[in-house]
Homo-oligomer: A and B are copies of this chain.
Amino acid sequence: MIVTVCLNPAIDVTYRVPELSVGRSHRVREVHARAGGKGINVARVLHQLAEPVTIAGLCGGTTGAEIAADLQRSGLRAVLTPISGQSRRTVTVVDAREATVLNEPGPQVSAAEWAAFGTAFSELVQAVRVVVMSGSVPPGCPDTSYAELVATARANGAAVVLDAEGEQLRHALGARPDVAKPNAVEVAHVFGRPVTTRRDALDAAQLLCDRGASTGIVSLGAEGFVAVTPSAAYDVRLPRQIPGNQTGAGDALAAALARGLARDDPWPELIADGAAVSAAAVAVPVAGGVATDIMAELRPGVVIEEV
């Protein structure tokens, strides 16, 4: 079983309008709403890939109730620790040309609520092979939130895939996650050095390992990713560019890595799967899904170079 942590879940709302114009009033033609946040999106991909998965999250208010109801409708198992604050919404306004995103801030989480989540998480991870920790952490949770959860998971024998940024990433590396996979922008920010070339990305992946991760992966969007594993370093490219929506690619990569770790796949295979799954997510208009036909088509052509 795989657990995905989603501390700051959301109801992701999409509005379709003919043309968004600042300062004007618009009739929204279509409204779509579903539960989101990186941890939930990772779980959706795993569920689609037929991997047993449970979401561990913090949820509150009427939006929290909507999130719980939507996860149930989607057949996703979730252990949600209640909070008194209101879970957030995101609104994406899509017109004929562009998408404009409005992200509400997360709810305030109290120390008691964070402690209650820790207890629930400790119980949940006892029979788990892999935990994925990804996405933002709501206000009130400590900067060491992911560090604490990595330590708990590892103490219970679970492997950890960490997709975090900023202070959370910095602290959590010290707790020795199995995989840390920020993107190039996030890793550049946390180490305070530019990551523009593949060489920079490889150096940054090595630095993730030096700071505590067993494997460091730096994703480069449509350009693939680089990985420094315990056995070797790899430069990974896709056979062709997939047009579409990059937002869910990182979540799909995290899902593929978790699946590979759960079944003890060798690194080259695990990495090639990750590249194919991640690229196949780009072809799906919303985060949390993969185009399985594209995944199958791309997989044999993934180029892995040991560096």
Which A residues between 93 and 118 are near B, CB-CB below 8 angstroms? Answer: 93, 95, 97-105
Give the total of A residues in contact with B, Cβ under 8 Å.
Answer: 29
| A27 to B22 CA separation, bound complex (whole angstroms) | 17
A15-B91, A29-B105 known, 20 other contacts, Cβ within 8 Å: A15-B102, A17-B102, A20-B22, A21-B22, A21-B100, A22-B22, A22-B95, A22-B98, A23-B98, A24-B100, A25-B100, A25-B101, A26-B100, A26-B101, A26-B103, A28-B102, A28-B103, A31-B105, A62-B66, A91-B91
Partner of A27, one of B26, B27, B95, B103: B103
Chain A positions within 8 Å of B, measured between CB atoms, are 15, 17, 20-29, 31, 62-63, 65-66, 91, 93, 95, 97-105
| A99 to B104 CA separation, bound complex (whole angstroms) | 17
| Contact between chains at A23 and B65 (CB < 8 Å) | no
- Number of copies of this kind of chain in the complex: 2
| A62 to B65 CA separation, bound complex (whole angstroms) | 8
Q: In the complex, what residue of chain B is closest to A65 when comparing beta carbons?
A: B62
Partner of A99, one of B23, B27, B97: B23
Residues of chain B within 8 A (CB-CB) of A66 are 62
Partner of A22, one of B28, B29, B91, B100: B100
| A66 to B28 CA separation, bound complex (whole angstroms) | 21
Residues of chain B within 8 A (CB-CB) of A15 are 91, 102, 104
| A28 to B99 CA separation, bound complex (whole angstroms) | 16
| Contact between chains at A24 and B62 (CB < 8 Å) | no
| A217 to B20 CA separation, bound complex (whole angstroms) | 34
| Contact between chains at B23 and A100 (CB < 8 Å) | yes
Q: In the complex, what residue of chain B is closest to A95 when comparing beta carbons?
A: B22
Q: In the complex, what residue of chain B is closest to A31 when comparing beta carbons?
A: B104
Pairs across A and B, CB under 8 Å, 27 listed: A15-B91, A15-B104, A17-B102, A20-B22, A20-B100, A21-B22, A22-B22, A22-B98, A22-B100, A23-B97, A23-B98, A23-B99, A24-B100, A25-B100, A25-B103, A27-B103, A27-B105, A28-B102, A28-B104, A29-B105, A31-B104, A62-B62, A62-B63, A62-B65, A91-B91, A91-B102, A93-B102
Report the minimal beta-carbon distance from A137 to chain B, rounded to whole angstroms. 15
| A282 to B98 CA separation, bound complex (whole angstroms) | 34
| Contact between chains at A101 and B31 (CB < 8 Å) | no
Q: In the complex, what residue of chain B is closest to A28 when comparing beta carbons?
A: B104
Residues of chain B within 8 A (CB-CB) of A97 are 23
Report the minimal beta-carbon distance from A245 to chain B, rounded to whole angstroms. 13
Residues of chain B within 8 A (CB-CB) of A63 are 62
| A23 to B105 CA separation, bound complex (whole angstroms) | 19
Q: In the complex, what residue of chain B is closest to A33 when comparing beta carbons?
A: B86
Q: In the complex, what residue of chain B is closest to A69 when comparing beta carbons?
A: B62
Report the minimal beta-carbon distance from A221 to chain B, rounded to whole angstroms. 15
| Contact between chains at B62 and A101 (CB < 8 Å) | no
Report the minimal beta-carbon distance from A11 to chain B, rounded to whole angstroms. 9
Residues of chain B within 8 A (CB-CB) of A25 are 100-101, 103
